[in-house]
A = this chain, B = another copy of it.
């Protein structure tokens, strides 16, 4: 019944399904045959040499396929993608099939040498690199054009024949992971290595950062608590807090780079070579010749893109920013109205009303952020960037600028135009807490609840209610097929970024912010874990060596926070009292201290090495070895040439 198409690896006794391919309903037989043939075909013939099996469901509609690969094929694929693994002598090296025996835990019959996430990443890579040879179109679909070298899977996706590709969950592993991650009540670190081997490096690094950031906030939170408990209102205490905060925020960002280097070194991704970047799936243009690769591929004029960016996207973003400021002004009108109302009536109800504008505004901000996000995605996609990385950078820039203004403009206005510290503290608290609650709800709990309801209905349809582990493969696949897709760590990092802003920008006014941030992050870890394990399809692993542009974003925020905190301190009556004669001296002193702090920050960032000594040593050792090997080779060649 379950027929394998692989003509080559019949020797493989047990087919282990790793990746699911869902084709559109009613895809032509001719197309399916061609596609599956290409997947199982020999490498030498331009195939991917993987294994494919159709998933037989009862109603007989064959549109879902399972992809696997022989153990040998996966090992060769690991070399192709450049995986880095630990050797017997504890050093990390790029895996090659010929040197496989030197690697730790390698044995020809040890099928767990590669983690399941790695196997799935390899299969994804091989599928995406399945390229058209001389086909002019996808058989059966003349409108889906192909040209030599075009990725077949990407064309299938963009023409709608391929609905989705996703890796299968491993019920056993997932259960274990869930248990050690959030299944039991415990105090301690997350099982980052297990998360990494199940979900890949990008996601593990996010959870690593989230955990690190939470721990890093704890000292700030601890120092912040007495301010609330003893109701310290004197500014000299706030000055102390702010000074600590500034130093702290620089140090934690520098230390993170080192911790990140240690983690990614042990995961092997620090050493992984960058792969050549292919055009992103959505990229389109007229066929031309790529000057770098010399291959025929769609080409889109850079000038056209620049025009779209500067004449459409930029004005649109500015308009949105203006709109956001406009909404902010409405909020202040509302605030004033509530204040007037309270003064007139003075009832309990009216004092409650004081909080209403802030809460409404916080909700509106969240809503605007989300709507803007869609607009930004649409615009950036319309800008037609050739590379995924360039697309991501433009998207992140658009979203960051708007979110920053949207979230913090009102606070800046209150602080530096209205000079109302009491209102600032109150707004900060309302914004922070409301946005945290909304986020937790919208990101994890709501999808979890929807997913649960959906699952229940599915179960009912499947007649016999079973425990999760007893589900058949068919049932598991049809369940996972319907799960939502995790869209990457962008939103999660953005949330942390804004939180960092709330905590650091006005830290000397509201020291309790760090406490709320810590509390939020602890629940965030659990709700994000829940989201990854229960709500979404398993995502493909993505090797990564750092948190990329977010490091820069956090560092920029910490520079801005130096400026804001210095101004806030300069405005405090206590500091004011130190300069009774002249306000000029006060401002000059504050400006001087600010420049000093900024200079110190840059020097610290420059002086603290980005990688710990021992990682540097290990990297130097690897570099030395490869240089030595090259030299030996040249020496041999030289000796031979000179002998002739």
Contacts and interface: CB of A to CB of B under 8 A. Distances in A.
Interface of A: 8, 42-44, 49, 72-73, 76, 79-80, 97-98, 275-276, 291-293, 563, 583-584, 587-588, 591, 595, 617, 620-621, 623-624, 627-628, 631, 634-635, 637-639, 641-642
B642 A276 contact: no
Contacts of A79: 634, 637-638
A638 B591 contact: no
A621 B587 contact: no
| Most chain B CB within a 10 A radius of its CB, from A43, A73, A293 | A43
Contact of A583 (B42, B584, B641, B642): B584
Contacts of A587: 584, 587-588, 591
B292 A624 contact: yes
A642 B49 contact: yes
B44 A639 contact: yes
A509 B641 CA distance: 66
A292 B621 contact: yes
B76 A638 contact: yes
7 contacts: A49-B638, A72-B641, A72-B642, A76-B637, A276-B627, A292-B624, A584-B587
Contacts of A98: 637
A621 B291 contact: yes
Given A76-B641, A97-B641, A563-B595, 13 more contacts: A8-B642, A76-B637, A79-B634, A79-B637, A79-B638, A80-B634, A80-B635, A98-B637, A276-B624, A276-B628, A292-B624, A583-B584, A587-B588
Given A97-B641, A588-B587, A641-B72, A293 B631 contact: no
A314 to B, nearest CB: 13
A638 B80 contact: yes
Count the copies: 2
A575 to B, nearest CB: 15
| Most chain B CB within a 10 A radius of its CB, from A293, A591, A623, A638 | A638
A615 to B, nearest CB: 12
| Most chain B CB within a 10 A radius of its CB, from A73, A293, A563, A641 | A641
A510 to B, nearest CB: 24
Tell me whether chain A's interface is mostly helix, strand or loop, or mixed.
Answer: helix
A414 to B, nearest CB: 18
B76 A634 contact: yes
A405 to B, nearest CB: 15
A290 to B, nearest CB: 9
A459 to B, nearest CB: 42
B627 A275 contact: yes
A527 to B, nearest CB: 35
A73 B644 CA distance: 12
Nearest to A587: B587
A282 B641 CA distance: 36
A485 to B, nearest CB: 30
A638 B43 contact: yes
Contacts of A634: 76, 79-80
A267 B595 CA distance: 41
A73 B595 CA distance: 57
A621 B638 CA distance: 29
A291 B627 CA distance: 16
A482 B490 CA distance: 66
A644 to B, nearest CB: 9
A617 B292 contact: yes
Nearest to A586: B584
A635 B42 CA distance: 11
Contacts of A631: 80
A501 to B, nearest CB: 17
Contact of A42 (B73, B292, B293, B639): B639
A627 B129 CA distance: 14
Contacts of A584: 583-584, 587
Contacts of A275: 627
Contacts of A623: 276
A584 B571 CA distance: 13
A79 B42 CA distance: 38
B97 A637 contact: yes
Given A563-B595, A587-B587, A637-B98, A42 B642 contact: yes
A151 to B, nearest CB: 14
Given A97-B637, A584-B583, A637-B97, A293 B624 contact: yes
**What 10 A-B pairs have minimum CB-CB distances, sorted nearest first?**
A76-B638, A292-B620, A44-B639, A292-B621, A276-B627, A587-B587, A43-B639, A583-B584, A591-B591, A80-B634
Contacts of A276: 623-624, 627-628
Contacts of A641: 72, 76, 97
Nearest to A302: B613
Contacts of A563: 595
A625 B145 CA distance: 27
Contacts of A76: 634, 637-638, 641-642
| Most chain B CB within a 10 A radius of its CB, from A79, A97, A635, A642 | A642
A291 B619 CA distance: 12
Contacts of A73: 642
A76 B589 CA distance: 64
A451 to B, nearest CB: 40
Nearest to A98: B637
Contacts of A8: 642
A93 to B, nearest CB: 16
A199 to B, nearest CB: 27
A248 B448 CA distance: 56
A43 B621 contact: no
